[in-house]
Amino acid sequence: MDKRENFNRAVNFKESEWVPIDCSTHSGIMLQKFQELANYYGIKNPEYRLNLVNMCSTMDERVWKNLPIDTRTVLLNPPDSLKINYLSDDIFQVSDYGFIMRKALYYNEFWDFPLKDSTAQNVASSKWWPDAFDPGRIRGLKEQVKKLYNETDFVLKLETPVPGLMETTQRMRGLERFFIDLASDEEFVNNYLDKVVKVHKDFYSVVLNEIGEYIQVVEMADDFGMQTGLQISVDMYRKYFKPRHKEVWDHIHSLTDAKLYLHSCGGVSELIPDWIEIGLDIIQSLQPKAAGMDAEKLKKDFGGKIVFWGGFDVQEILPYGTPDKIESEVKRIMDIFAPGGGYVFSPAHVIQPDVPLENMFAMFDAAVKYGKFPI
């Protein structure tokens, strides 16, 4: 059974030969750790692509082939119209969305917000909304992805072509300001989110009409949780976000047979029933130290209804545990999530620069060792 066949069994709730293993984008690796890994393998000038915050989107195959990872990421190209304007030595603005970023130690941070002064009347006409149809975004993409599909057995995952609904609004408006909007300005929020939905549908149309037949997973990233629970109430989610998620997700499902994957950090268990109801296939992160994200309870409540992806702790165990502790934790979560299928192993979030390489290797070695069926 090849990687793709094995994965398709897993995400259709059938026990496969092994639990698929992922380490990509939101469950992937930071640039500094990738460079350390490349140096470990003696790879000079490794190739990679980064997202806006310095997570590796794609990584040099000379490095990646050494790890037991079943997935590979595909993603849109930068647009021909892309411009990066430096406002100071460490602050820059990106023409797509007008994001204003500050270079920090490891990540690029969202520093200021182009729509902070927008109103309900003008938010949808802002000059900062990106053009999904810029021809540079898909130039050469179909040929590249078709080659990967035909010449390898990797599971091909489309990296989210746009930030999610909540992430777009917070990054363009500002987190605090947008929370005030949610509580006090219904007209603005509706106009704003309706525009975000249109942009999402345009981007997913562009990319899935090009490569939808070749990919197995479509990613969306939309953080609704934090360490202690949800960022907003369930009622507020249902009022503003749920119908719009359904509109976007129905659109995605109409364009491809690939499974729909949502990365959402933090304590999001209260929203999982809603996400299942409106067509989500895969929930990723399963941040184990966040409130309400206990693996046994998630499996009991939602096993067989949604695919679990992730779940290995990157806040304490991966950076600070011993290899033996890491091995035992991998076995524990495999024993919980894997039986009956419906599980893909990965770190809950990006592997940070402070994680020892021996700990990373211990995690992957244990995933191979304990991910073989029967479990």
Question: What CATH number corresponds to the domain at position 33?
Answer: 3.20.20.210
162 band by pLDDT with thresholds 50, 70 and 90: very high
Q: In the prediction, which pLDDT does 282 show? A: 98
pLDDT of residue 229: 98
Mean pLDDT of 226-251: 98
Q: What is the pLDDT of residues 353-367, one digit of tens each?
A: 999 999 999 999 999
Tell me the pLDDT band of 10, cut-offs 50, 70 and 90. very high
d(CA 192, CA 165): 10
Within-domain flag for 97: no
Amino acid at 236: M
In which band, very low, low, confident or very high, does the pLDDT at 77 lie, cut at 50, 70 and 90?
A: very high
Which pLDDT belongs to residue 9? 98
Residue 302, SS3 per DSSP? helix
Give the range of the structural domain holding residue 279, as residue numbers without chain letter. Answer: 3-80+130-370
In a domain, 64, yes or no: yes
Arithmetic mean of pLDDT over the chain:
97
| Placement of tokens 């929203």 in the chain | 271
pLDDT band at 123 (very low <50, low <70, confident <90, very high): very high
Q: What DSSP string runs through 238-278?
A: IIIIHHHHHHHHHHHHHH-SSEEEEE--SS-GGGHHHHHHT
Q: List, for residues 277-310, the tens digit of each pLDDT value.
A: 999 999 999 999 999 999 999 999 999 999 999 9
Q: Give residue-wise pLDDT tens across range 255-272.
A: 999 999 999 999 999 999
- Please indicate, yes or no, if residue 135 is contained in any of the structural domains: yes
Q: Is residue 89 assigned to a domain?
A: no
Confirm whether 123 is domain-assigned: no
pLDDT grade for 189, boundaries at 50, 70 and 90: very high
Tokens of 72: 């590979």
Q: What is the mean pLDDT of residues 242-261?
A: 98
The CA distance from 161 to 173, in Å, is: 20
User: What is the model's pLDDT at position 199?
Assistant: 98
Q: Once rounded to an integer, what is the mean pLDDT over residues 135-146?
A: 98
Under the banding of pLDDT at 50, 70 and 90, the label for residue 240 is: very high
- Span 56-85, mean pLDDT? 97
Residue 27 in any domain: the answer is yes
Q: Give the type of residue at 275.
A: W
Confirm whether 14 is domain-assigned: yes
pLDDT at 176: 96
Question: What is the structure's pLDDT at 337?
Answer: 98
pLDDT, position 245: 98
**CA–centroid distance for 275 within its chain:** 16
DSSP 350: P
What total number of domains does the chain contain? 1
Angle formed at CA 292 by CA 172 and CA 355, multiple of 5 degrees: 70
Q: What's the pLDDT tens digit per position in 311-333? A: 999 999 999 999 999 999 999 99
The model scores a pTM over 0.95: yes
* pLDDT band at residue 37 using 50, 70 and 90 as cut-offs: very high
**Tell me, what's the pLDDT at 163?**
97
Q: Tell me, yes or no, whether 222 lies in a domain.
A: yes
φ and ψ at residue 167, rounded to 5 degrees: -65, -40
CA 269 from centre of chain? 17
